[in-house]
A and B are shown apart, each in its own frame.
Chain A
Amino acid sequence: MTGTQTPPAAGAAPASLAVGAAPGSTPATAVAITSWSIHLPAPPTSTTTPCSAAPTSPGGRAGATSAPGFGTAVAGLPPVDPACPSDRAHTLLGRKGLLYKEPATRLALCAVHRALGLPDGVRPDATLDARTAVVAASNLGNVGTVIDVTRAVAREGSRGVSPMAAPNASSNVIASSVALWFRLGGPNLMVCSGETAGLDALALGTLLLRAGRADRVLVVGAEPDDETAVAVRRGPAATPPLRAGAACVVLEPAARAAAPLATLTVGPAVRRRADVPPWPAGPRVVVGPGHLDPAAAWGDCYGAQGVLQTALAARLVAEGADGVAVLCGGDDDGWRTALLTPATPTGRQP
């Protein structure tokens, strides 16, 4: 692809991006992105495609595309092939165990499945991996169940409620479902902090690595776009519209990563966009609102957006960009940034 060199944010002066530890503190352990995936189902009007033709992830599956890509509306965005919708998740994940899973949980499982490079249609038969953590980001993942159960109770009392919906009544269902599905016993976090949730999740993922709580972190964002989710978010007239999708970014300590794709640094959160620290000197690609903006082209994945943007940035870096910044957030929840730089050769820190 052709990575557009986007100018820095208005008013920004060349300076170092103030991310990571404060001056005087212990130097932070560098964190590498070692895999990623984007699982963005085609809009409902498009021809349904099986998952085998679908999502992007490193290494490609080039040539597997059977449907036209989308997202070319914004120059410079890499094409993303449409992935299977949540009701076709079994083509990727296998049939067993999906029955009571909500759409966002299914999409999250698909994104992780892809990022781990697992074969289509096969559920992994794994032993417990206590050193891999899961950090999920989603704000609306279980609002569908919450509203359905509430309406059922109001209509016919508790007998109208299926106990099979119980796991979905708990807001951490996406993170715990990923852990259970792939047998990941490390720390398990469900981030739901709104517009910044995706980058918040990546920040917590790097923190877990630095604290020695895990050797690998799967950061996965997922949102649904059913009627309930749209109503809770900001209504059907919102621009950009809410868009169902998921993305996964795999983090490992750079010193131990066998095949790093990029080095990741997540910056602190700020309240207003004007407070975002200046980008580093030199031309940079910026992925985010007002720059190379996947939300403007494809719709907004809300809590998953920061993960999706970072996955795209990892792809741009792997394809040769010398540094890609991610800008994520909004007026409701503030802003956060991340910086991706090329990974140094295997197993060495920059």
Chain B
Amino acid sequence: MPALIAASSLRTCLGDGARTFAALLNGRTGVRELRHPLAGRLNVTAGYQIDEPAPGAALRAGAWLRECVAEALARAAVDPRRARVVALVGTGLRELAAVEELALTGAATAPSRLHFGPAVRDAAPGLAEVVTIANACSAGGHALALAQDLIDAGEADAVVVGAADTMTASMLAMIGKVAPTPTAQVRPFDRDRTGVLLGEGAAALVVVPEDWTGPAVGRLLATGLSCDAVHETAPDLDGICRAMRDAWARSRRGPEEVDLVVAHGTGTALNDPTECAALLRCLPRPGAPLITAVKGAVGHLSGAAALANLDVALRCLASGMVPPVVGLVHPLPEGDGLTFVRDVRARRGVTLAQVNAFGFGGVNAVTLVEAP
């Protein structure tokens, strides 16, 4: 059954959800020189970082998540002391930066802070159940799927879906390891793309049943899930297509109704052609929907990427404007036949948006959402 999204809150290097969307519409990017205690040793020189708390401070992701959860609950007017509210948190790298701090300086962190329990409970007094899933770069999409399942099963009156990520030295080192030269900017779907860069941020939204009478910013149709079970890190066309078809089947809507795709678009050698191939294979009229992607502007938010994409999709549905793919100059040949939004915003009313998120380990989540 569809559910409603009562509120959505976002933090990226470009600001809150409204500021991020405004910057995207204007084609701005938030990429800057990397600030990290080990910068200079990582073969990564740039990133999309949030200034406060400053890079290097402890438990930053939890601080942004706390803000987003508090804001989303306030906007939704949901009080966990008076309703059955469950929180599901999706994250790629948890607060593993704090574990790295232990390695470098010996400073220990309370283990419960690594998975955001205290951060969410601080923001949501009365909320007892916080379940954190570490599902790589599609964690937020997986949390969203489970939130809708909980609402469908009648197990909660409202579900707070949160996601948060900051950078870790260990993941930066892996990105630096596979890049021949450091990437200057994420360029989703560009033929000359050079790889991914990490972003930082958090998001939270409140999912409620369809008969909810409070505020609503979107109608959540369905999220399809799949696991490739093919390769540890590389994406797989069949696995991604299974998630897309699962989303459409669960929503009881046809793929021909999709008129906006907020793509995963990581700017890596493998993701972008595979994502194009999946859209070309699974969409009956692949050229019909507009395709945009945000990672050139805000970086790869890892576990928060899906919810960041969703926040942008909701703003597209509400405003009739779709931001361009920041960083895209020459579309990749594998994208022939797809309609990327380029250079300037598109003004077109869109009614049904598809949000893609794919992660390490072949974990895929595809969400369908429309205006409330």
Q: Measuring CB to CB, which residues of chain A are less than 8 angstroms from any residue of chain B?
A: 20-22, 24-26, 28, 128, 130, 134, 139, 143, 145-147, 149-154, 157-158, 161, 163, 165-167, 169-173, 175-177, 179-180, 183-194, 196, 200, 203-204, 207-208, 210-211, 213, 231-235, 268-271, 275, 332-334
* Contacting pair A158 B42 (CB below 8 A): yes
Is the Cβ of A172 less than 8 Å from the Cβ of B134?
A: yes
8 Å CB contact of B102 from A176, A194, A232, A234: A232
CA distance A268 to B242 in the complex (A): 31
Q: Tell whether B305 is near chain A: CB-to-CB under 8 Å.
A: no
The 8 Å CB contact of B225, one of A163, A213, A269, is: A213
Instruction: Decide if B152 touches A166 in the complex (CB within 8 Å).
Output: no
Inside 8 A of A233's CB, which chain B residues have their CB? 111
User: Which of chain A's residues has its CB closest to B101's CB?
Assistant: A150
Chain B residues within 8 Å of A232, by CB: 99, 102, 108, 111, 114
Partner of A150, one of B131, B170, B231: B170
Q: Which residues of A contact B17 (CB under 8 A)?
A: none
Quick check: is B287 within 8 A (CB to CB) of the other chain?
A: no
* Beta-carbon nearest neighbor of A161 in chain B: B173
Which residues of A sit under 8 angstroms from B136, Cβ to Cβ? Answer: 170-172, 176
Complex contacts, A150 vs chain B, CB 8 Å: 38, 100, 103-104, 168-170, 173
Is B29 part of the contact surface with A, judged by Cβ < 8 Å?
no
Q: Are A176 and B363 in contact (CB under 8 A)?
A: yes
Whether A158 contacts B176 by the Cβ 8 Å rule is yes
Contacts of A158 in B (CB 8 A): 41-43, 173, 176-177
B174 touches A21 (CB 8 A): no
Task: Tell me the minimal C-beta distance from A327 to chain B in angstroms.
Answer: 15
Asked if B146 contacts A194 (CB within 8 A), the reply is no
Residue A139 contacts which of B114, B142, B170, B230 (CB distance < 8 angstroms)? B114
Known: A190-B135, A193-B117. A149 touches B169 (CB 8 A): yes
Q: Find the B residue at minimum CB distance from A144.
A: B99
Pick the contact of A161 from B104, B128, B142, B177 — CB < 8 Å?
Answer: B177
Would B153 and A210 count as touching, CB distance under 8 A?
yes
- Contact between chains at B230 and A180 (CB < 8 Å): yes
> How far is the CB of A225 from the nearest CB of chain B, in Å?
14
Report if B271 contacts A (CB, 8 A): no
Tell me which residues across on chain A come within 8 A of B169, comparing CB atoms.
Answer: 149-150, 153-154
- The total of Cβ contacts below 8 Å across the A-B interface reads 243
* A143→B99 contact, CB < 8 A: yes
Is the Cβ of B38 less than 8 Å from the Cβ of A153? Answer: yes
CB of B171 within 8 A of chain A? yes
Cβ-defined contact, B174 with A165, below 8 A: yes
Interface residue from B92, B131, B228 paired with A170 (Cβ < 8 Å): B92
Q: List 23 A-B contacts (CB under 8 A).
A: A134-B227, A146-B168, A149-B169, A149-B170, A151-B104, A157-B41, A172-B135, A172-B136, A173-B361, A176-B227, A176-B363, A187-B225, A190-B133, A191-B131, A191-B132, A193-B131, A204-B133, A207-B150, A268-B128, A268-B155, A269-B130, A271-B128, A334-B117
Contact A184/B233 with A147-B102, A172-B134, A194-B112 known, Cβ cut-off 8 Å: no
- Nearest CB on A from B358, distance (A): 12
Once the chains bind, are A193 and B128 in contact (CB under 8 Å)? Answer: no
Decide: A234 and B111 in contact? CB cutoff 8 A.
yes
Residues of B within 8 A of A177 (CB): 232, 361
> Does B232 lie within 8 Å of A185, measured CB to CB?
no
Bitwise, B68-103 to A at CB < 8 A (1) or not (0) is 000000000000000010100001111010011011
Most chain B CB neighbours (cut-off 10 Å) among A179, A193, A203 = A193
Q: How far is the CA of A28 from the CA of B362 in the complex (A)?
A: 30
B344 within 8 A of A: no
Q: Mark B100-124, 1 if CB is under 8 A from A, else 0.
A: 1011100010111011010001000
Measured CA separation A153–B102 after assembly (Å)? 14
A176 to B112, CA, bound (A): 23
B173 touches A153 (CB 8 A): yes
